[in-house]
Amino acid sequence: MQKSIAFFALVAALPTAVFGQSQVWGQCGGIGWTGPTTCVSGSSCVKQNDYYSQCLPGASVPTTTTPPPTTTTTTTPPTSSSTSPTTSAPTTTATTGPVTNPNSVHQKFKAHGKLYFGTCSDSNRFNNAQGANITVTDFGQVTPENSMKWDATEPNRGSYNFGGSDALVNFATTNGLMLRGHTFLWAQQIPGWINNIKDAATMTTVIQDHIRTVMTRYKGKVYGWDIVNEHINEDGSIKSTPFTQVLGNDAFRIAFQAARAADPDAKLYINDYNLDSNNAKVQGIVRLVQQLNANGTKLVDGIGSQAHITGGQGSTAQAALTALAAAGVEVAITELDIAQAPSADYTAVVRACLNVPACVGITVWGVRDPDSWRASTNPLLFDANFQPKPAYNAILAML
C-alpha cells in the first residue's frame, strides 16, 4: 500500500520531474525552488532570472533567449533638468516576447498572428517566485499595474521616482517580455498638486514635461502607451477631469503630441472601460479618435478596451472590437478580467481578438485571483495556489 501511494505521488509529479530531473520547459532552479536542478537528456538548465531557471532544448543553449530587437534602444537619461531619478534607466531592450515555452498562451496566441498575450505586474507580484515563473513562462507581455502612474513617478512637481517602474522594465527586458506603458492622463492615482493647477499654460507644461520625461526614460523599450485613460462618459461625451477642466479637449492633443515627440516608434493609445459592446461609449471614443486623427496628423494609434467584465459579456466582445477598429486604428484588450472566470467568456474574448484583424493583443489584469483589484470575484486565470483554472486550460485548448 505504501509503495502504491509513493508510486502515485511519483506519477503525479511527472510533468515537472522524472527521477530527480526536470523535463524540457520545466523549472530547474531559482530563488525558493526546491525541485530538481538538472534537466532530462537533450536539454539544459538555463537561468531566466533570479527566480526562475528553465530546462531548454539542446545540450548547450545561450544564457539569454531574447530574439533580435525590433526597436532601437537608448540609454539617454531624462532630458528635464528638474528630474531626479532614483536609479539609472534600464539598459536592456524589450522585443517581441520570450522564446521559451511553445505551449504558453502567449506563444500559442502569437502563432495565430497576434503580438502578445500578457498580464499586469509590478515588483510586489514578480518578487513572488511562483508569480514570476508564470509571468515569464505563460505570458509574453507585462503592463505596470501601478508603478508608472503619475502619483508613483512624479509625486512632487519636477521630482521623479522611477524605483518601481525601473524594476518592472528591468524584469520585462531581462526576460524578453514586451511592455505596455500605463498611464498618463487619468483622473485617478494622480498626485494632489495637479488638482491645484487651474491655468492652461501651467497644465500644458506639466503634461508635456511629465510625458517627455517618463517616455524618454523608456524610449525604445515600450510597445505601446496608454496616453489617455478613462476620459469618456457612458453616453460618449468627454469626462470632466483635472485635465479637461483646465484644457478641454486640447488636453488630449497636447498629451498625444508630447508622446509622439518623445518616442516616435511607440504606439499611442486611448484606453477605457465599458467598451464591451457596440454602445454609446464605443461610438464616443471612436468619434474622439477620428477627431484627433483628422487633417492628416495621426495622433492616436490604438484604442484599448480594458474589459473588466462579467459572465455573458464575452458574447459581445467581437462586435465591440469591430466597432472600435472602425476608427481606423489598432485595438487591444488591455485589462481583461471576468467575474467568476467563466471559460465560455474568456474563450469568447480571445476568439474575438483572433477574429478582428486590428486586434493586436490581450493583457489580463493580474495572474492569480487574490492579487486582483476585484479579488472577491475570482476573475483571473490562476487560483490562489498559482494553479491554472479551467478558463486558462480552455483558452489553451482553443488555441
Cα separation, 233 vs 147, whole angstroms: 26
Residue ranges binding ligand G3I (CB under 6 A): 145-146, 188-189, 306, 335, 373
Side chain identity at 354, as an amino acid letter?
Answer: L
Please report how close the Cβ of residue 189 comes to ligand G3I at its closest, in angstroms: 5
Q: Pick between residue 92 and residue 306 the one whose CB is nearest to ligand G3I.
A: 306
Q: Is the peptide bond before 244 cis (omega within 30 degrees of 0)?
A: no
Catalytic residue among 145, 154, 330, 335: 335
Q: Pick between residue 110 and residue 308 the one whose CB is nearest to ligand G3I.
A: 308
- Using Cβ positions, the residue closest to ligand G3I within the complex turns out to be 373
The helix (run of H) or strand (run of E) holding residue 108 is helix 105-110
Cα separation, 159 vs 241, whole angstroms: 23
Please report how close the Cβ of residue 187 comes to ligand G3I at its closest, in angstroms: 10
For residues 362 and 117, the answer to whether their CB atoms sit within 8 Å is: yes
Residues in contact with 398: Cβ distance below 8 Å, sequence separation at least 6, in sequence order: 347, 350, 351
Cα separation, 200 vs 227, whole angstroms: 19
Please report how close the Cβ of residue 145 comes to ligand G3I at its closest, in angstroms: 5
Please report how close the Cβ of residue 60 comes to ligand G3I at its closest, in angstroms: 42
Angle at which helix 343-355 crosses helix 317-325, to 10 degrees, equals: 30
Measuring CA to CA, which residue among 250, 175, 265 is closest to residue 218? Answer: 265
Q: Pick between residue 209 and residue 335 the one whose CB is nearest to ligand G3I.
A: 335
Cα separation, 396 vs 108, whole angstroms: 8
Please report how close the Cβ of residue 26 comes to ligand G3I at its closest, in angstroms: 31
Look at residue 385 and give its three-state secondary structure.
coil
| 159 phi and psi angles, rounded to 5 deg | -115, 110
Annotated catalytic residue 230: no
Look at residue 333 and give its three-state secondary structure.
strand
Cα separation, 264 vs 303, whole angstroms: 17
Please report how close the Cβ of residue 222 comes to ligand G3I at its closest, in angstroms: 16
The helix (run of H) or strand (run of E) holding residue 361 is strand 359-364
Backbone dihedral region of 303: left (phi > 0), alpha (psi from -120 to 50 degrees) or beta?
beta
Q: Pick between residue 159 and residue 188 the one whose CB is nearest to ligand G3I.
A: 188
Cα separation, 143 vs 122, whole angstroms: 8
Please report how close the Cβ of residue 264 comes to ligand G3I at its closest, in angstroms: 25
Q: Pick between residue 43 and residue 121 the one whose CB is nearest to ligand G3I.
A: 121
Q: Pick between residue 17 and residue 282 the one whose CB is nearest to ligand G3I.
A: 282
Q: Pick between residue 331 and residue 394 the one whose CB is nearest to ligand G3I.
A: 331
Measuring CA to CA, which residue among 271, 252, 267, 262 is closest to residue 209? Answer: 262
Side chain identity at 376, as an amino acid letter?
Answer: S
Q: Pick between residue 55 and residue 380 the one whose CB is nearest to ligand G3I.
A: 380
Cell 532601437 -> residue: 72
Please report how close the Cβ of residue 277 comes to ligand G3I at its closest, in angstroms: 18
Residues in contact with 222: Cβ distance below 8 Å, sequence separation at least 6, in sequence order: 94, 179, 180, 181, 215, 263, 266
What are the catalytic residues?
335
